[in-house]
Structure 1
Amino acid sequence: MKKTILKFSIACLASLILFSACSKDDDQATTADTSNFVVVSALITSPYSGYITSFGSTIPSGTISNVKGTSKQAQWLVGIRQFGKYIYRFHNASGERGITKYSVDATTQTFKEEGYIATDKSIFGSGQHVIVNETTGFYFDPALGLLKIQKFNPTTMQRTGELDFTAKLQDATKEFVSLGQTMMMVKEGKLYANIHYGTTARKGYLDSKDGIIRLAVIDIATGNLDKIITFDTGNKIVQTGWFFENPMWDLGDDGHLYFCDMAGIGSGGSSLHRIKKGETEIDANWMIKMDDITKNGFFHNILVRNGKIYTRIPNEGIKPDFSNIGNEIWEYSTIDVNTKAVQKITGAPIVSFNGNANAIVEIDKQIYLMVENKTQNINGFFKVNGTTATQSFQVSEGGSICGFAKL
């Protein structure tokens, strides 16, 4: 039944950055808009073939088809990540595991593969990565070492070295130890990578041995391991982050780093945590427990803006066999960072688990929510205005919506 989680771990896309080219004559200035609004959709059938489509500088509206002659077709399309004007995925177009980079031509709206770094194909989490800037990125490739962080250049898509912490982190008393397999985060010059204790049989896949969150704090400039920070959740297991495009962390506009622990998924214990601005320890005085909201639910999305945590909360607990995880039970809500009060976002229909990687995105300082509700025949994105949301566009062709971004 664990495959059910993977099947519904269909997600995608994020937000950001606009470039313009300007030319002037004696009387006026003209600006060529080179931005691309991109929509992602996928068919929920193995191997999750889908479409990434550019709509140019015009934001989609009304009912649209996500199948165009310029669309990029790809297998294992369970989500995308974005840095600047580029898309990054955990698989290439053929579905082979690794980090793939795509660019989009602003004029023709066509996609080009800018590079591919192949990674191990046998262990979940292979290809986990984070981008710091145009020249610095980090990724996990178990074939090169479970306790090594690989370095790469996001512009050239070339591996540039590694940070080897095997001697410091290897523990002979543990069956399986990995570094950065499910979560890598960056804040204020530090890389935070999860340390996972699992089993040799499952190799880090939902096999946590205890309820302690462990993060290696690595100085990005020197590559040194500063320390290991921990937080005892009081649960039997933890699951910080995930194995594909959903990062499950966000650097809030308050400067704090927020992240999700899914814990037992079908057995409760999920929580939200943070590392405050200017600090490098997990905040011991701040924690939001899903069980206080919905018993046996779990957090898997997070965006923090203006003192509010935007997330999805199930209206019923997840069953131990995950039989209801894909049902229309997930409600878009906000949680006040300080009071922890929960408020549903009205106007946004209840949704299925589909599209969890980029269920909540920010574009031009506006927040959009991904909505797939087959009961109401809704398949698109909703724009948030305060505590309400209204539909921006509907996808009629190309599969289930799983992403929206501005490159």
Structure 2
Amino acid sequence: MKSWFALICLLGLSVSVLGEQIRYDNYKLLRFTPTNEDELKLLVQLQESNFGVIFWQEPSRVGRPVDVMFPPHLQGDTFEFLRKRLVSTVMSDNVQTLINNEARGLLQNGKALNWESYGTLDDINEYLASVAASNSFAEVVTIGKSFENRDLNVLKISKSSGSDRPAIWLDGGIHAREWISPAVVTYVINELLTSNDTEVTQIAEDFDLYVMPVMNPDGYVYTQTDRMWRKTRATTNSPLGCRGADANRNWDYRFDTGGSSPQPCSDTYHGGSGFSQPETKAASDFYNTIGNQTKMFLSVHSYSQYILLPYGYSAERYPDYQEWMRIGQAAARAIAQPFGTEFTVGNIVDLLYVSSGGSVDWIKGIHDTSVVLAFELRDTGRYGFVLPPDQIKPSGVEFLEGFKVLVRELRTRLDMP
């Protein structure tokens, strides 16, 4: 078995490092559903030895689907071995076709964000700048620089000159390939300022808001070259030249205690130490300055349609966990109202996997912020990370319905009207 996985590593190197524009022609996306612990272990071994296959959904528990992308050169004996051993479904025969279809919906040069197309980092930053220029109560705060010296931008919306108003934090784009995340976060900004729903616009009247649409700008830019890139773009000590760390395994709370990798070539590489990545260090330093004021922290990801409660390092429950399960389920019911999209609520470990070093763990563990949740947006695997742009607005609409429920609960807890 070890020699078989070693062969995968060697074969995978040939496609990991060659060429500037990474394409996924004839890559197949398979969904495996492990039915026992041995099958689960097989998928874990594949992930730990991975250079040639790309996991879209990681192995976590028996019965939970695992989505894996196979390059053409691994669709021979290796591919057939797994298909015979495991229950599997072909989700896509050619991932590049999904990418090509998505690319047709990229925002055209010179056009403003419209949430009918995916924008580039420049498009998003121009939008934030335009919001700040058009509204005296908004400003773009550059909280630091990425590894490649890009601005780390947070939009602050505050309609009060005081510093004692409760605040809400919303971020996206911590994983580069999850394009729907920044799209929905910017959609929320627009609705907070322009919606016909007075309950939505009232949020900006009563709360300070800190919104960071793209926490991992280097990675987001690099997805124009490699659409499946997940990590930051920092250099590492890898003799193979592998770059980047998983920015959601790099927060310094219970760092490297499970569910991350010490291998720089892994998609879940946790970095050399907690906050070794300038992006997570800058975000945490900034949050330290607003942590006492901030009462809600929401981090937006994709995909799976989950509302996730801390913690990720273990299944440990914090004191009011059951109460927040109830509230999360109310938010899920609200999300389902517009289009029938079903979200599942639960602890990160219960629904996904152990994943130490995540942002929500640090926020809850260090600051004990009242409302701390991560959202995994659409879909459940038909398109995965390559969600068509015609699903941006529906994703934003339903997320906003859940957001409204959470803010109502927060108002009650803060004794606000």
> Which structure is higher in helix share?
2
Structures share a fold, TM > 0.5? no
Q: TM-score, normalised by structure 2?
A: 0.28
* Bigger strand fraction: 1
